[in-house]
Every structure is written in structure tokens, then in C-alpha cells.
Amino acid sequence: MAIKETINLAHTAIPAKIRRFDWHRLAFSGVAGLVALLLLAFGSLHGLVAVWMRGWVASEPGIHHPEIHLWHDAQIGALVGIMLASSLIALLWKPRQQPLLAQFLALGSLLYLAILAPFDPVAALILAVLLAIPLACYPTLRNLVDFRRPERPSWALLGLSLFTTALMVPAAWRWLQLQLLDTGEHAMANHWITGVALVGVLSLAGFLAATRRPGWQVLGMLVGLALLHLGAATVTLPDQPGSWGLSGGIIALIGGLLFIGVTILEMRQPTANLSN
């Protein structure tokens, strides 16, 4: 009996000490980090600083006057650098605990590519492959199609998202018309349609953050940072083609601060489960 008990104890003690290494998370983090670096290297990092570091000129086919494209560079920085690349970077830590961020990455990328594809199918295809790789490596793929909402939504973030979207839609409509009718450098470089995609992705991110699903905090912060970046660029370059102007830049700065402030306040509130 003593021998039998010893053997049983040994069999129950060994599994408790074994710790599995999370290879899925490691693979995802490696791929996501690499893709984020590639996105930053291929223009979005330049877009984040181009307005204030004008000596750094990025070469682009068909662009002969880079100094008139600084506002559009800032838009690319906000869209790809802040919203997409930063989402990947945020997912490097605890990706399973932030499914909303992964869902935004999937939906935001799909929206961006759907808007871009009719005007630049080659670039859209390259970006699609690049962005699909980390999503395919996401540790819990089933969470990408799970939209259950265990908590009450943030009515403040929802209202703020509706307000900012309403302010940005007229500019997006004007940019779409320019992309279709303009024959200059901006249209040739697909800058106008990139602005349309930016408005769509920012609006999507705001509405998703309002759901308060896991990962909403980072998403709310990213929207705020993107608006602050765009507002600062607009105030610096109020007369650039497509710019929101001085008043629009100030409104964007206020909107960015509100998004960050509301997100922080919501984070401090106790969670309210819908099942209660």
C-alpha cells in the first residue's frame, strides 16, 4: 500500500510542475513585431515626423514636389503608423487578452484595403499579404469572430465617436471627389483616397472602443493619439492641400484630448457586467 501511494503521489505531482511554453504567443509576437517594423520602415515612420523634420524627404514615384504633400504624409503616419502598426505593437504583450484590438486590426485593414484597391490594386495586395500574416498567427483565431459584449458600452465614447465622424465625413467626401477628378500629384499618389480610408478607420476604431470589449483601452488611446497627431500637423500646416485648416486642427486636438481623457475616466470606473 505504501508503495502504491508513493507511485500515485509521484504521478500527481509531476504534471503540476510541468509548464508548457506558449509557442503560439511567441510566434505571433515575432511575426507581429516584424510586420510592425516593416510598416514603420515603408513610410509610416516618415509620416509621423515629416511635418516637423522637413529635411527627411521620402522618395515616391510621381512626386516632384514633396513639400506640398506633408499633410498627406501626416495622414499616412496616423493611419498606418499609429492605428495599424501601433495596434500590432500593443498586441505583442498578452494578445489573447486583447481580442478587440486584433478584431480592429482585421476590420480596419480590410476597410483600408477595400477603399485603396480600386485605385492601387498592387499596393493593396502587398499590404493585404503583409497584414494577413500576423492575423493568421493570432493565438486564438476563434476570438476574431466572437463579438459578444460582456460589459455595458461606453456611451461617452460612442457619442464622441459619432461627433468626430460627423465632423470628418464632409472632408472625406471632398477627398473622394478629388481622387476621382484631380489629375495632379496628389491623385496620382492616391493621397486623397488615403484620407478617405483614414476617416473610415478612425471612425471604426472609435465605435469599437465604445463597446468596452477586452482591448478597448488601447484602441481608445490610439484614436486620441491619431487625432492629436493630425491636429498638430494641421495647425502647423493650415494651408496645405487637403488640410483641415487652423480651426479644424484645433478641433482635432480637442477631440484627441477628449478621447484620451474619456478613455482614462472609463478605465477607472468599475466594470458593469451585462449578465448581472
Cell numbers representing residue 152 in the block: 455595458
Q: Does the pLDDT value for residue 66 go beyond 70?
A: no
pTM of the model: 0.86
Q: Give me the chain's average pLDDT, please.
A: 86
In a domain? residue 13: no
**pLDDT for residue 23:** 78
Instruction: Find the DSSP H helices in 82-212.
Output: 86-90, 99-116, 121-136, 155-181, 185-188, 191-209
Cβ contacts of 61 within 8 Å, gap of 6 or more? 189
Q: Which of 55-59, 89-93, 106-110, 121-125 has the lowest mean pLDDT?
A: 55-59
Looking at the DSSP bridge assignments, the partners of residue 273 are 151
In a domain? residue 273: no
The closest of 242, 265, 268, 249 to 72, measured between CA atoms, is 242
Q: Does the pLDDT value for residue 229 go beyond 60?
A: yes
In a domain? residue 8: no
Q: Does the pLDDT value for residue 6 go beyond 60?
A: no
Q: Which of 23-32, 112-121, 256-265 has the lowest mean pLDDT?
A: 23-32
In a domain? residue 33: yes
Q: Does the pLDDT value for residue 62 go beyond 80?
A: no
In a domain? residue 15: no
d(CA 86, CA 36): 7
In a domain? residue 239: yes
**pLDDT for residue 14:** 41
Q: Does the pLDDT value for residue 9 go beyond 60?
A: no
d(CA 130, CA 38): 9
Cβ contacts of 5 within 8 Å, gap of 6 or more? none
* Span 106-133, average pLDDT: 95
In a domain? residue 46: yes
Q: Which of 75-79, 173-177, 198-202, 272-276 has the lowest mean pLDDT?
A: 272-276
**pLDDT for residue 272:** 52
Contact 213, 149 (CB under 8 A): yes
d(CA 254, CA 248): 10
**Exposure string (b/e) for 138-153, b if CB count within 10 Å is 16 or more?**
bbeeebeeeeeeeeeb
**pLDDT for residue 208:** 96
Higher-confidence residue of 74 and 3: namely 74
**pLDDT for residue 57:** 59
Assign 270 a pLDDT band (cuts: 50, 70, 90): low
Residue 169's domain comprises 20-268
> How many domains does the structure of the chain reveal?
1
In a domain? residue 105: yes
Q: Does the pLDDT value for residue 175 go beyond 90?
A: yes
d(CA 215, CA 101): 5
**pLDDT for residue 12:** 45
d(CA 1, CA 274): 53
